[in-house]
Amino acid sequence: MKLTLAEPKYLRDSISIISELVNETKIKVSSDGMELTAMDPANVAMVVFKLLPTAFTEYSVEKPVDLSVNLANLKQILRRANPTDMLTLELADNMLKVQMKSASTRRFDLPLIDIEEKEQKVPELKYPVIIQTASVVLNEAIGDADTVAEAVSFTAEPGLFGLNAEGDLNKAAIEIKADDITRIEAKERTSSKYSIEYLKKMIEGSKLSETVTIQFNKDYPLKLTYAAIDKVMLSFILAPRVEND
């Protein structure tokens, strides 16, 4: 296995974001790309990550390989990569060899670990609501909601996407209308509530893409997707907060 990235950012930022939700995981490397599917330890959120072969300047994988790693450890090494470094990943002696090449050549060896983990499957989810908007619009709305509460309701109806949060003191209500920036697909009024603590970690995906796709349904998992064509796809699935009435 030898993989070379001319833009380390896609791998570095993705691993940095994912490491806030997941501690240890298997990264699968095959002719399809570099892929990761993992649950957070509380079983509330799932991450689905894919870095495409077309994102690499060299992508040679003889047979599929599983890289089991500690993500905090990998993140710490990848953050040493400068934007202009050529980043190469190789495998030897049960070690992941990470090389950063510019004027100097810097090599980090990271031990692979054993993970007794059952294969994570991405659930089949169907969504009546699909919203596409600028990442910064969602970031701002989650920031607003975070000012007043710990959970936020997402509501969609034809032409309108709303976020509502209610704390002990204050209330926040954000209204986003369909326009050039925001595309809203919703047949009827649909509402569901999600944890802001998790959302704050997920909207870091805005580092990878200027747009985000938001999918949800009543009392049903939320799906956020950040994608850069031919490069990277980072999705999050977040369990709803269901009120006990």
Binding region for a second copy (CB under 8 A): 70, 73, 76-77, 80, 103-111, 137, 140-141, 143-144, 147-148, 169-177, 179, 181
Nearest distance, CB of residue 98 and a second copy, angstroms = 9
CA distance 91 to 45: 30
CB-wise, 79 or 189, nearer to a second copy?
79
Q: Residue 179 contacts by C-beta under 8 Å, 6 or more apart in sequence?
A: none
CA distance 152 to 36: 28
CB-wise, 6 or 181, nearer to a second copy?
181
CB-wise, 44 or 77, nearer to a second copy?
77
Residue with tokens 């925001």: 182
Contact, 208 vs 234, CB < 8 A? yes
Q: What DSSP element (H or E) covers 165?
A: strand 160-166
Identify residue 34 by its one-letter amino acid code: M
Tokens of 153: 């309701």
Nearest distance, CB of residue 203 and a second copy, angstroms = 15
CB-wise, 98 or 222, nearer to a second copy?
98
CB-wise, 106 or 183, nearer to a second copy?
106
Nearest distance, CB of residue 108 and a second copy, angstroms = 5
CA distance 225 to 205: 8
Nearest distance, CB of residue 65 and a second copy, angstroms = 19
Nearest distance, CB of residue 231 and a second copy, angstroms = 26
